[in-house]
Structure 1
Amino acid sequence: MLEKTYSPAAVEEKHYRQWEESGAFAANTQSNGTPYTIMMPPPNVTGSLHMGHALTFTLQDVLTRYHRMRGKDALWQPGTDHAGIATQMVVERNLAAEGKTRHDFGREKFIDKVWEWKAESGGTITRQLRRLGASPDWAKERFTMDEGLSAAVRKVFVELYRQGLLYKDKRLVNWDPKLHTAISDLEVEQREIKGNLWHFRYPIEGEPDRFIVVATTRPETMLGDTAVAVHPEDERYKDLIGKNVVLPLVGRLIPIVGDEYADPETGSGAVKITPAHDFNDFAVGKRHGLEAINIMDRDARLTDAVPEPYRGLDRYEARKKVVVDLEALELLEKIEPHTHKVPHGDRSGVAIEPWLTDQWYVDAATLAKPAIEAVETGKTVFVPKQWENTYFEWMRNIQPWCVSRQIWWGHQIPAWYGPDGAVFVEESEESARAAAEKHYGKPAELTRDPDVLDTWFSSALWPFSTLGWPEKTPELERYYPTDVLVTGFDIIFFWVARMMMMGLHFMGDVPFRTVYIHALVRDEKGQKMSKSKGNVIDPLELIDEYGTDALRFTLSAMAAQGRDIKLAVNRVEGYRNFATKLWNAARYCQMNGAVPVPGFTPTGLTQTVNRWIVGELAETSTRVAGAIEAYKFNEAANALYQFIWGTFCDWYLEFTKPILNGSDEAAKAETRATTAWVLDEVLHLLHPIMPYITEELWEQLGEGRANRLISAAWPEYGPEIVDPAARAEMDWVVRLISAVRSMRSEMNVPPAAQIELKLKDAGAESLKRLATHRDLILRMGRLASAEPLVDETPKQSAQAVLDEATLILPLEGIVDLDKERARLSKEIEKLAGEIKKIDAKLGNEQFVAKAPEEVIEEQRDRREAADQARGKLQKALEMLGA
């Protein structure tokens, strides 16, 4: 017998261990089943499970379990990412606690330390994924620094280099002066800083007392200026284009150039151009052939490229000195307070310096062309479709991709330099030595490039490197291209696009047929979760409190396409109650002898209620399958919730109590068998979303079953189990009882009051149904009687329409209807006033422009709730004939 209450903690670890040990998660390259592949976006090896992970991995697991049950050979390919900078920082922090740095160890020994840390702590996220119930093929788990994946990285680098698609160049990068490395745009966060806008006067060459005023937020960079730009059509400066200014403090002559980058409406309309320290200026410099003078070193201190008084100063010290010195020369026109966004390293927390350095680049524009075409022609589709626009926007404006990083942990670049600087790009040192010997005519001393590759470089190869490429493995042949990628919108640029480029280039086909972009998980007010706000919800704490299934069901039920999830803990609690409801229903079935009957088929049933429930189940199965396949997880979850809580528990189990308590043994046996069969099928349908409780019930309700639920087939039903007449009949009964209950509730009828029901204008079919199901209707509607209306409609009554009939509840002496009308009218008026106030706010352009998005969203939600409540009360008032 089932325990009185369901205890998730008692069963989750047991079932997970049994699933994994039995090989239930494993794909099979020898299988006759159609392959179905999902690549797990590899979480950082430094990571631990957060709510974004919980969402994406839940949805991937739902898809994997569902397609596995559909008989497909499902491979959910797991793995973790070495996360170059993040991992190196963790290990360096650990060393700092011991008073040491990586330089105390040297490169090789430091990397050994990182591998040690990875062995000890790097499995945290995968252990936590197991707690979430994730069912990937763990035997195939990969790590981006595995030897196989490292070989793929080296091969790709060398091939791209030989094809002219990878090269070394001196360009601007996001430089982190604390971490001493280039970082990607994804690792840069914009912070709002209250600063100043300094207006400086630059003297015009040969025209004493004539100046051009430029405004800047970074006075220190003016020491590296190589031009001043004005708009070619700006009448104020047209005559100056082609002339020079004398760069203050430096004395260098720099040209005034005409360029549309200068906005006549902003500041003075003239801008200083520092190509080595600003991305926009770099582009202007390229257009006009300007020199790029690098005035900073890797610590963001000024170099020997500036006048002697400023050398060695930190950029902020230099800023103060430049301003003081220009003021002394009477070249400071004014200072304005100015709030602006300054890029900071998300890990180091320091301001990023656009810095001119030699780095390795991939020709992303060339690789992007086929990747753009693949989405344009539908080889890969985005769900929801609007994310294609984001993808196109970035891909059509793509810049060269800087792939080198100045750290030690990662894939070291396979390039070696000879004594004269000649570069040899090869997959191994042996090959590089052979190439150098051929080049020089004798063996030569080689030095390997110390840089490592951007983490995204190896991640871009994930869909095929994990399957064994460059070897031609059975896995690669069978599982590439993959079926779907499930990920967040924030890495469409950084990962999705790069996988598309690399997959098409090296495999000749897209890496996935569908990209499902899920939304963000926010707090219940719609705010982004962050430690600083103190609103982070830990998925592991929710699992401890409410069970894994409740969290998984919550995330699935709220995963509506294109809408962020506002996660409130009470939603998880609500779905824990749903699990309890299912458990209690199963216990009720067990106590009433409704246990699985071997060989039972739900055809030829004699009881209308049984024919109805199996048809409703078939309808639910179709809805759930269709929703999962369309990535409408919320619709799948809601269809299951409505059927299990409503149709099965609240209606069917109540409808069948008289049969189970009656004397017709054949009807009893059929109903018990049908009940057990429907419950079994429900467990199948619910399993992809709530795997633990369904597996536990499957095991306990059918002792001695040959297989586990995870390996069972998804239910398939023929049209013969759907009986439209039974459906219409029982649907009528459900709607009638619901209408009566609704009227009772809206009219504040005391629960214990046994009242009459009259049916006005009811047709023969309705009256026949009333006669057949009268006992049920009386019991479940708490009615004294239910009869056709023969006299006039009582004045003191509530009314509702059911098909051709009018349902009438005479309420004289039970409810004061005048008082009820007054109460309802007052409530409606109050809600109308609230809606008016919200509409005024939302109609205020200033409010909408200035208020945070979550505040506006909250107002819209409040309006919707008030409108729904008003509609409900209006309906109640109409019931009273008012």
Structure 2
Amino acid sequence: MTDKTFPHAEVEPRLYAAWERSGLFGAKPNSTARPYCIVIPPPNVTGSLHMGHALNNTLQDVLIRWRRMSGDDVLWMPGTDHAGIATQMVVERMLAAEGTSRQALGREAFLERVWTWREQSGGTITRQLRRLGCSLDWPRERFTMDAGLSRAVTEVFVRLYREGLIYRAKRLVNWDPKFHSAISDLEVENREVKGNLWYIRYPIDGEDGRFIVVATTRPETMLGDTAVAVHPEDERWKDLIGRHAILPLVGRRIPIVADAYSDPTKGSGAVKITPAHDFNDFEVGRRHGLEAINILDRDARLLDGPPVPEPYRGLDRFEARKRIVADLEALGLIEKVEPHTHMVPHGDRSGVVIEPYLTDQWFVDAKTLAGPAIAAVEAGRTRFVPKQWENTYFAWLRAIEPWCISRQLWWGHQIPAWYAPDGAIFVAHDEAEAKRLAAEAYGHEVALERDPDVLDTWFSSALWPFSTLGWPDKTPELARYYPGEVLVTGFDIIFFWVARMMMMGLHMMGEVPFRTVYVHALVRDERGQKMSKSKGNVIDPLDLIDTFGADALRFTLCAMAAQGRDIKLSTARVEGYRNFGTKLWNAARFCRMNLCVAPVGWDPASARATLNRWILGRLAEAARHATEALEQFRFDAYAGGLYQFVWGTFCDWYLELAKPALAEEGALREETRATAGFVLDVILALLHPVMPFITEEIWHLQADRGPGPCEGRRTLMVEPWPDAATLPRDPAAEAEVDWVVRLVSEVRAIRAETNVPPARAIPLFLKDAYGTTLDRLARWKEPILRLARLSDVSPLAGEVPKGSAQAVLDEATLVLPLAEVIDLEAERARLAREVARHAEEIARLDAKLANPAFVSRAAEEVVEESRERRAAAAEAKARLEAALARLAG
């Protein structure tokens, strides 16, 4: 242990390889210990570790390592998602570079290429999770397209179809014109676009010269209009309700209907209703029994035939917009055009504008499945942490629409449905069963054609908590580890994944899939902005691991994971927590050089020295706090409490105060060595879940256990979690040493605030001190002089010298004569200027934050930054005012 800094680049791969070889990451289904299971949110097989993964998996690993040390039989189930559209894109790009395409290869050959790519390149993110230190049960790794999970997917589809909960229907979906597939809402990215709002005159049938004006951002879809809607209370159009308008350029009569969907305060108050090309219009159409007329093909071009008028057939949608607007203008039917900025949906991978598209798809009756999922959370069978996310969960599930589960892709679980020549559908586990069902239905064999579509990846992910454990077979793992204990996830997939796992778990297993859902926030940049490549503010976790080590990154993310608050990450923060690791490393070097090791079987209750009993008491408090914080998912409190104890209490106070005892031979030295070694070992155990590499390495070096775990050697990973109840507490010793710490801290604060030169030793007087205080002063005089940089410390006889700084400590007043040390007048003036400067800053920020326009219009991160600056200025002002008050005499 000669290095002055922890050599993370050398140690991390060595330790991780040894851990993995040891098999100790693995669950033990035959164990009698309490089972504790977490299933990983399966990252895309195409993925690479980003900061969201780093946060999510760090928090999971903290829980897993903590519960493993607590004696539980832990299963952290690893796996990856086949990521239908993302993976198909990757392989199609490769084919394009080779001058071919999936269509040229054909489906079977294309899927072979995808599987080949997956075997060769699909394990990137699992290798990167190892670099982060994640202790997953790797031999159990699953893939959503592996044989077992594919079997589970087919079984669920067949069961739900036969129960009437999966059906085929024509409905609107998010359609990607580039990929020619329906996509999920999560794959839709709404982007702000500067466009126009066109006000178009629709002639009133039977009343020449009268028009109803509709405002629209999409004139091209008017060719599919089947109504105009107005608010029932809008006096401008009330008399037209029930009458008809003539659809310009088409000539079709369309009804004018009353519907609260039309907002009288927006546009003209009248809206065109195009049920086949707008989700809201689709619902209006259902309410009023309107026809849904599709005018687009799968490329988002206007149909090359009826019902599209001949001049616009086959046009690209945006070219059609120009032509239609020009023709309307020529007819005098454009009343006005206003610039209009609005949100337009784009495919997050294709980058093209997404179309609401009316097409035949497979759907799940999500509303029926949602009922039990809502009831389970209402009854507390599954709880959300923080609790407010239950509201999001309930809101989404109570407003749930049918779930479109079909995708027009080749990579994925092909839908187990076969069609007879007359269109009859046979859903079965395999083709042989489908043929048997068809033969029974027709009385003879018929030719069947399988549905070419695949299932939405969220369908297979919804089964993850039980399909990964061997369902539909009744495996020992399924009986033991379902339901899981905790799900750790981001808030953005509460609906897409959490709610769907709840629905499927309850329906297929009769039980919730997990007892607790811990929802973490986003990792943003240091200014609070969302990380994105376009902004150039993305921080790569692998770069941080290379530079500062995995422990530093993990500790940073844990320390900043306050419930309900986004993480503002910067390289400087990771560097700061790397310095914490260096502090721990050097404290361990100090202990090792001073032979601070607790003998085997040493009883901490045998310690007699006040200092040693004090640190053992403080250790007990740190252990209690750490355990409670983890039980409550307060990761920031867990990390923050240990940071304060290790850096402050143990390193800066205990080891400093213990130096005289360690320098002299005798029983006190041996007791202090044992105490310091014991406390360090407990610190390493408490920190291990969040900083596994440095703690394991120190633990082995500290007691000559060898450089890290290997076959046949112990490992900190399975050492018992510290039990605060077994650690001795001595209230009298804790009060006494705490008094010393408070006294020295107060003197240091006065020196810093009043600009006393660091090297200048000054006297300290205690006014009105008596009894216990004087006894403590006598016992601790030497360390007080040394640590507070004092020339003398004694009770005050007589009046307080002029020009003294004062502070109260219990019944006594600390008096530091400064008249001969600093220029008191100059220092008072400096402090007054600083107080005034901060007061001005506070006033300026108060005015800004009191301005409703600023708070409502400025970016959220800008407002939050102003609040933080205001709080920092107020804190600094209070500190300076206290210092000025001390010099007032």
TM-score tier after normalising by the smaller chain length? over 0.9
Query: Counterparts of 1:324 and 1:760 in 2: how far apart (Å)?
Result: 92
**Which residue of structure 2 lines up, in the alignment, with residue 538 of structure 1?**
540
Number of the residue aligned with 1:276: 276
- Look up the equivalent residue of 2:571 and give its one-letter code: V
- Give distance in 2, aligned partners of 1:834 and 1:243: 63
Q: How does 1:75-154 map to 2 (within 5 A)?
A: 75-154=75-154
Residue 877 of structure 1 aligns to a residue whose secondary structure is helix
Question: What residue in structure 2 maps to residue 805 of structure 1?
Answer: 812
1:494-533 map, 5 Å? 494-533=496-535
The residue identity in structure 1 corresponding to 2:189 is E
Partner residue, 1:46 = 46
Q: Name the % identity.
A: 67
Unaligned runs of at least 5 residues, structure 2 = 707-712
Code of the aligned partner of 2:160: L
Moved more, 24-33 or 258-267: 258-267
Give, as a single letter, the amino acid of the residue that structure 2 aligns with 1:686. L
Alpha carbons of structure 1 residues 262 and 816: separation in structure 2 relative to 1, 3 Å: same
Structure 2 residue 703 is matched with structure 1 residue 709: no
> Shift of the alpha carbon at 1:478?
0.4
Look up the match of 1:627.
629
Following TM superposition, by how much is the alpha carbon of 1:593 offset from its aligned partner in structure 2, in angstroms? 1.6
Gap regions ≥5 residues in structure 1: none
Match of 1:636 in 2: 638
CA shift for structure 1 position 812 = 2.0
Name the CA distance, whole Å, in 2 between partners of 1:367 and 1:763.
73
Q: TM (normalized to structure 1)?
A: 0.99
Match of residue 331, structure 1, among 333, 350, 355: 333
Deviation at 1:810, TM superposition (A): 1.0
The separation in 1 between residues aligned to 2:852 and 2:233, in whole angstroms, is 34
Which residue of structure 2 aligns with residue 318 of structure 1? 320
Deviates more, 1:708-717 or 1:47-56: 708-717
Q: SS at the partner of 1:721?
A: coil
Aligned to 1:382, which of 377, 381, 384? 384
Q: Deviations over 1:309-365 (max 9, x none)?
A: 111111111111111222222222222211111111111111111110000010111
Would the aligned equivalents of 2:604 and 2:727 in 1 still touch at CA under 8 Å?
no
Measured after TM superposition, the shift of residue 368 of structure 1 is: 0.5
Tell me, yes or no, if structure 1 residue 837 matches structure 2 residue 844: yes
- Matching residue within 439, 442, 445 for 2:444: 442
Q: Matched residues in 1 for 2:19 and 2:69: separation?
A: 14
Q: Deviations over 1:258-302 (max 9, x none)?
A: 111112222221111110001111001000100000111000111
The DSSP-based 3-state class of the residue aligned with 2:604 is coil
Could you tell me which of 356, 359, 366 is aligned with 1:357?
359
Equivalent position amino acid for 1:854 in 2: E
Distance 1:187 1:719 in 2: 52
How many angstroms apart in 2 are the aligned matches of 1:495 and 1:91?
26
Equivalent residue, structure 2, for 1:493: 495
Please name the residue that 1:577 is paired with. Answer: 579
1:861 aligns with 2:862: no
Q: How far did 1:224 drift?
A: 0.6
- 2:774 aligned partner, one-letter code: L
Q: Distance in 2 between matches of 1:753 and 1:565?
A: 42
Tell me if the contact between 2:205 and 2:243 (Cα under 8 Å) persists in the aligned partners: yes
If the length of structure 2 is used for normalisation, what is the TM-score? 0.98
CA distance in 1, matches of 2:135, 2:196: 54
Counterpart amino acid of residue 548 in structure 2 = Y
CA contact (8 A) 2:617 2:727 kept: no
Q: Trace 1:739-750 onto structure 2 (pairs within 5 A).
A: 739-750=746-757
Q: Give the conservation status (yes or no) of the 8 Å contact 2:364–2:403.
A: yes
Question: Could you tell me how far 1:719 is from its partner in structure 2?
Answer: 5.6
Q: What is the rounded CA distance, in whole Å, between the counterparts of 1:594 and 1:703 in structure 2?
A: 12
Q: Which residue of 2 aligns with 1:71?
A: 71
Give the secondary-structure state (helix, strand or coil) at the position aligned to 1:659.
helix
Are 2:793 and 1:793 aligned? no
> How far, CA to CA, are the matches of 2:535 and 2:450 in structure 1?
45
Structure 2 distance, partners of 1:855, 1:369, is 41
Structure 2 counterpart SS, 1:656: helix
CA distance in 2, matches of 1:761, 1:769: 14
Q: 2:591 maps to what in 1?
A: 589
Of stretches 206-215 and 173-182 in structure 1, the one that deviates more from structure 2 is 206-215
Tell me the amino acid that sits aligned with residue 423 of structure 1. I
Which residue of structure 2 aligns with residue 687 of structure 1?
A: 688
Q: Within 2, Cα distance between the matches of 1:4 and 1:354?
A: 62
Deviations 1:576-595 (A, max 9, x none): 11111111111111111212
- Following superposition, the deviation at residue 819 of structure 1 comes to 1.4
CA distance in 1, matches of 2:532, 2:630: 31
- Map of 1:257 onto structure 2: 257
CA distance in 1, matches of 2:342, 2:619: 59
| Number of the residue aligned with 1:201 | 201
1:672 corresponds to 2:679:
no
1:37 corresponds in structure 2 to 37
Counterpart-to-counterpart distance in 2, 1:319 and 1:814: 81
Report the counterpart of residue 426 of structure 1 in structure 2. 428
Conserved in 1, the CA contact under 8 Å of 2:197 and 2:340?
A: yes
Change (3 A) 1:720 1:348: closer
Contact 1:596 1:701 in 2 (8 A): no
Number of the residue aligned with 2:709: none
1:457 partnered with 2:459:
yes
Give the Å deviation of 1:24.
1.2
Shift of 1:720: 6.2
Q: Conserved in 1, the CA contact under 8 Å of 2:621 and 2:724?
A: no
* Structure 2 SS opposite 1:689: coil
The answer to whether the 8 A contact 1:799-1:881 is kept is: no
CA distance in 2 between counterparts of 1:337 and 1:322 reads: 18
Distance, in Å, in 2 between the alignment partners of 1:486 and 1:206 is 63
User: For 2:209, what is the secondary structure of its paired residue?
Assistant: coil
Q: Deviations over 1:106-142 (max 9, x none)?
A: 1111011111111111000000000000001001100
**For 2:294 and 2:488, how far apart are their aligned partners in 1?**
42
Q: Which stretch of structure 1 is more off in the superposition, 636-645 or 321-330?
A: 321-330
Contact 2:620 2:727 in 1 (8 A): no
Larger mean CA deviation between 689-698 and 813-822 belongs to: 813-822
Match of 1:733 in 2: 740
Higher mean alpha-carbon deviation, 170-179 vs 322-331, is at 322-331
Distance in 2 separating the partners of 1:481 and 1:720? 35
**C-alpha distance in structure 1 between counterparts of 2:725 and 2:523, whole Å:** 39
Identify which of 551, 556, 566 aligns with 1:564: 566
